[in-house]
Amino acid sequence: MLRERSRGYLFSTFLTSLITSVTVGAVILIVIASGLVTRNAPNPQTPQGNTGGISPNAPLPQQIAAEAPADGPVAAAVAKSASPGVVGISVLRVDSNSILDRNTAQKWGVGSGVIVTENGYILTNHHVAGGKSKRIVVSLEDGRNVDGVTQWSDPVLDLAVVKVNLTGLTAIPLGDAKALQVGETAIAIGNPLGLQFQRTVTSGIVSALNRTIKIDTDQGSNYMEDLIQTDASINPGNSGGPLLNSRGQVVGINTIKVSSAEGIGFAIPINVAVPIIKQYMNNGDFTEPYLGVFAYDKEVIPYLDGNLKLDKGIYVVNVDEKGPAYKNGIKLGCIITQVDGKDVNTMMDLRTYIYSKRPGDTINVTRIQKGKVAPEVIGIRLSAKEKDGLITR
C-alpha cells in the first residue's frame, strides 16, 4: 500500500516537471521567433597585414570607433606584421677634425630604419645615417648584416635614404599621416639603447598633431614643424624607426624625444617622404628639386614676431639669392599661399609637393609681397640641388 502511494507520487512529480519544461521551452521559442531576443554580433577590429610596397593613392585608413586595447591583439598583430621590415643601422664615424690628427677615434652609432621597397631602399633619420661616415651596416631580422650606402639625406627634415644591395625584402606599407586623429593607437618599433634590444615594440596613442619644436644643430637653431607627438616610449636607438597606426602602416619616422619629461616623443609625418621613395622606385634615383626658400607657418610665427599674424600660407624667412625663387621675385617677407593651385599652409606642404617634381619642371607660385594685399601668380622653373647645397642648373 505504501509502495503504491510512493510510485504514484513519483509519477505525478515526473509528469508535472515534464509539462513545465515543455511549456517553458515553447515560450522561449516563441520569444526568439518574435524577435524579442537578438545576439550581439562580434565586430573584431584587426589591422590589415603587410601588403608590401607603397600605395599613396590607396583609400585613406578608416578610423575605428572602438579599437582593441593597445596591449591586445592590435599591437600584437602590428608587431608581427611590421617587425621584419624594421632594421638596425650601425654607422662608423671618425671623431676628428683632421685625418692627420693622431687622437683620431672611431665610434659606432646605432639607430633604426624602415624597409620601404623590396629592392633595398631604407628610410631613416639624417642624424642616424646622414653626413660623413666610414661605414654603414644594416642588420636584418633574419640575422644578416649587410653594408649600406646613404643615397640622400636632409638635415632640416632629419630624413635619409639608405640603399642595400638586396632584393626580396619585406617592405612595410606606408599610411597617411594626415588621416591621423589624436587619441588613436600608435606603435613604435626600434632598437633602443643598441642592437641588444633590437625590434623593441612599444605602444601608446597619438598625443597631438602638428607640433613645432625648436632644436639646436651644427648650423644653429632650427624649428621642426608638423611633427606627430606620441607617448609610445622612444629612446636613443629608436631614431629612424617607424611609428605605425593600428593597420600596421608607417605614419611617421621617429626622430626625437623630450629628455626632461616622460612619454613625449615626436615623429616626422611619412607624407613628405612618399614622393622621394616613389622617385627611387620609378627612376632608381632622386635628384632633389630646388626652389631656394625657407618659410614658417602660423604656428611658428609667434616665436619670431609676436606682432605678426598669419591666417594662411607660409611666411618666407630665408631666400637663396642664387636660387630660382629669388630670381623670380620671391623675397624675404613674402607669403606663399598656393603652388599650382594647391593650398600651402606649412613648409611640409611645400616640400611634399616640390619633391613630387623633377628639376626643370615649372611650378606656379601664388605669393603676396610684403606690404601688399593682392596675390600674384609667378612661374618658377625648379633647379637641381647637389649634396653640398649648390645649385647646378
The domain 287-384 having CATH identifier 2.30.42.10: the answer here is yes
Q: Is-same-fold flag (85-164; 172-280)?
A: yes
For residue 232, which of 199, 260, 201, 273 has the smallest C-alpha distance? Answer: 201
pLDDT (0 to 100) of residue 152: 93
pLDDT (0 to 100) of residue 91: 93
Active site residue 239: yes
> In the chain, what are the domain boundaries?
85-164, 172-280, 287-384
Helix (H) or strand (E) holding 172: none
Average pLDDT score over residue span 358-368: 95
pLDDT of 219 strictly over 70: no
The CATH class for the domain spanning 172-280 reads: mainly beta
Query: Is pTM, for the whole model, over 0.85?
Result: no
Considering 186-190, 218-222, 235-239, the range whose residues carry the highest mean pLDDT is: 186-190
**Phi, psi angles (nearest 5°) of residue 289:** -70, 140
- 8-state DSSP, 96: -
The catalytic residue among 81, 139, 158, 226 is 158
User: pLDDT category, 100, cuts 50, 70, 90?
Assistant: low
pLDDT (0 to 100) of residue 5: 43
The catalytic residue among 239, 297, 320, 383 is 239
**Phi, psi angles (nearest 5°) of residue 119:** -100, 25
Average pLDDT score over residue span 205-220: 79
Helix (H) or strand (E) holding 351: helix 347-354
CATH no. of 85-164 = 2.40.10.10
pLDDT (0 to 100) of residue 285: 87
E strand intervals along the chain: 86-95, 105-115, 121-124, 135-139, 145-154, 159-164, 185-190, 200-217, 220-230, 242-244, 250-257, 265-269, 289-290, 293-296, 314-319, 335-339, 342-343, 362-368, 376-381, 383-384
pLDDT (0 to 100) of residue 301: 77
User: pLDDT category, 85, cuts 50, 70, 90?
Assistant: very high
Q: Among 51-60, 213-222, 275-284, 347-356, name the one with the lowest average pLDDT.
A: 51-60
pLDDT (0 to 100) of residue 103: 59
Between residues 305 and 241, the one the model is more confident about: 241
Average pLDDT score over residue span 263-280: 92
Average pLDDT score over residue span 15-25: 49
For residue 314, which of 330, 326, 290, 329 has the smallest C-alpha distance? Answer: 330
Between residues 317 and 38, the one the model is more confident about: 317
The catalytic residue among 127, 226, 233, 349 is 127
